[in-house]
Amino acid sequence: MINSVTQTPSIQTKQRQIHKKLVSSTGYAAVGLGTLCGATGLKSVKFKNKMKVHKYSAWFAGLFTLLHLGIAKGLDKFLYKS
């Protein structure tokens, strides 16, 4: 009789998956908000409250960029101690 072997994911594998998901999502957010900031900064784009959208998207793009770099460099270990 042959017994099937099932392997459960280890804690390190789960932490690695969370790490990859955080890096990916913060990177996409930074790129998207940076693109929005650049598009609203053009002279040819005209709509109401343009500078407010440009300013806030720049701040959030910078914030997500710092989060992305911090998580990618391993600083999330301080947040998720196990």
pLDDT at 14: 82
Give the chain as a 3 state SS string: CCCCCCCCCCHHHHHHHHHHHHHHHHHHHHHHHHHHHHHHCCCCCCCCCHHHHHHHHHHHHHHHHHHHHHHHCCHHHCCCCC
pLDDT at 60: 97
Per-residue pLDDT 10s for the chain (82 aa) are: 677 766 666 777 887 888 889 999 999 999 999 999 999 999 898 989 999 999 999 999 999 999 999 888 877 667 666 5
pTM: 0.76
